[in-house]
Amino acid sequence: MGKSNNKVDQYRRRFLIRAAGQACGAALLGVGLITFSRQAHTLPATAIRPPGALAEQDFLGACVRCGLCVRDCPYDTLKLAELGETVTTGTPYFTARDIPCEMCEDIPCVVACPTGALDKGLTNIDDARMGLAALVDQENCLNYLGLRCDVCYRVCPLINKAISLEPQHNLRTGKHTFFIPVVHSDACTGCGMCERACVLPEAAIKILPQRLAKGAPGQHYRLGWEEKQKAGGSLVTPDTEHKYNLPEGYQYDYEGRGLIKEDKNTQTPFADNPLDTLNKRQEQKQ
């Protein structure tokens, strides 16, 4: 290496080292930030995204934290997470127990979103899936105790579709009926009306993210009774009809009607006097 080149080389060397230093510094900062983001991006289960929000990971890449959805929410449901809150800073959310989503028909929050973090494809609010109501506390729910509270059912904007009351026999009293609130995931939007309305000091019914509120059946599972209906007949052959060992002229309806006399005019095989029955048998044998 010539002496004349030495100076240029040294300059180049210094330049490269400086640049590498800056790049490494920035990269270190980046590693720290990404590590931090893993924690900062965990959404608490009680924080619910506005209707139409993309899946959480996509949402965090799409939302520019401008707050236009918050501004156009007529019920002050939505708010932006402040620095220090457990929700990712600047992103919109609501807490169902405080102010639930009123499910506006024109969905102003989605209309206001400039980026598509709230999906413009959502035009019918009933299609929103902000979360899923789950009756998490079956020990304290008044309806589970046999009372007729029904408040969650009554306030549901999709009454009888998203929540229905299913009668069940109350074995404790032996003569009453439980009216069990059942949430149907094919209709529940996760608006949170039920959670806010729950009369208990701590709601027994809560809006949870779908991933927490819902199980998933095995992909190979088939419900036999549904498959049978689809196919118009049993898939397991031969599907022989079950036969009850019944007296002549009788049927048994296992779905509730029980023992049925086929023709009311036919004589009962059991006469009032048991001796008559025995005599009849004797006659038949001869």
Partner 1 sequence: MSVLLRPGAEAIASKGWWRANQWLLLRRAVQLGILSLFLLGPWLGIWIIKGNIASSLTLDVLPLSDPYLLTQSLFAGHWPETTVVIGAVIISVFYFLVGGRVYCGWICPVNMITDLAAWLRQRFNIKGGARFPRQSRYWILVMTLIGATISGSLLWELVNPVTLVYRGLIFGMGMVWLLLLALFLFDLLLSPRGWCTHLCPMGAFYSLLARYTPLRISAAGRERCNDCMDCYAVCPEPQVIPPALKGAEQGIGPVILGINCTNCARCIDVCSKDVFKFSSRFSNPTQSSSNTFKQSEVLS
Query: Which residues are at the interface with partner 1 (CB under 8 A)?
Result: 18-19, 22-23, 25-27, 29-30, 33-34, 36-38, 40-41, 57-58, 60-68, 70-72, 79-80, 82-85, 88-90, 112-117, 120
* Comparison of 56 and 137: residue with beta carbon closer to partner 1: 56
Minimum CB–partner distance for residue 223 and partner 1 (Å): 37
- In whole angstroms, what is the distance from residue 226 CA to residue 231 CA? 9
Minimum CB–partner distance for residue 20 and partner 1 (Å): 10
* Comparison of 23 and 278: residue with beta carbon closer to partner 1: 23
* Comparison of 117 and 128: residue with beta carbon closer to partner 1: 117
Minimum CB–partner distance for residue 13 and partner 1 (Å): 16
- In whole angstroms, what is the distance from residue 25 CA to residue 238 CA? 74
Burial of 142 (0-12, 13-18, 19+ CB in 10 A): middle
In the numeric block, the tokens 């052959």 are attached to 237
- Cβ atoms of 204 and 196 closer than 8 Å: no
Minimum CB–partner distance for residue 116 and partner 1 (Å): 4
- In whole angstroms, what is the distance from residue 92 CA to residue 74 CA? 15
Range 3-14 burial, b when 16+ CB lie within 10 A, else e: eeeeeeeeeeee
* Comparison of 70 and 152: residue with beta carbon closer to partner 1: 70
